Each structure stands twice: as structure tokens, then as C-alpha cells.
Amino acid sequence: MTTKLKITVMKTFGPEEVFGHTMLRDGKAIQACSYKVGEEFIMDSHLDRPKDFCGRAWQDLYTTLMTYYCGGDYDYPEQGVTYQPCGDGIRPVIFKIEKMSE
């Protein structure tokens, strides 16, 4: 049985939601991350970052992904499912990570 993982974008936040005001970079307002709520990435290899997946988010999720691939599990909120944010403190994204079995 091969373990696949599904990563789903659950929520994105902009600086206004995190800090209550706009933040600027080079005189332009920083926007929420470009992920779309409901966007999915199917992982069938723990070494390959999906095309167009943010490198920072990948690094933040990697330990959880490896735990699943190596036979570990999280039991919250249920077995085989967990939620994890990326570490971008200005415009974070919440991801749902699910085990899928073929």
C-alpha cells in the first residue's frame, strides 16, 4: 500500500487580518499569499516539492509530511489528519494535511 498525502489550503491571511492595518514593502501594500482556499496538492513522493508550492511553506510542513511518510501519525483532530500553518508571520496560510491510501 502506497501512502499519498493531500495538502489543502484552508485559509490565507493578509497583514490587515494579522495586525489590523496595511503593511508596506517598497511603498506597496503587502497582499495575502497567492494560494487559493481549497487549492490541493497531492504528494506521492516525500522528496519532491510540488510545482508552484512555496519553498518557505514546504520547509514548515516538511517535518509533518515526513512523520506521515515514515509511518507516524497525528491524532488531532482525527487520525491521519492534521492542520499546520506556514511560518510567514505577515501573511500566514493554514494547510490541512491528510493521509490517503491507494
The model's pLDDT over 52-90, given as tens digits with 9 standing for 90+, comes to 899 999 999 999 998 888 888 887 888 889 999 999 999
What is the pLDDT of the chain when averaged over all its residues?
A: 90
pLDDT tens digit sequence for 12-61: 999 999 999 999 999 999 999 999 999 999 988 767 888 889 999 999 99
Q: Is the pTM of this model over 0.85?
A: yes
Q: Give per-residue burial for 65-98: e unless 16+ CB within 10 Å, then b.
A: beebbeeeebeeeeeeebebbbebeebbbbbbbe
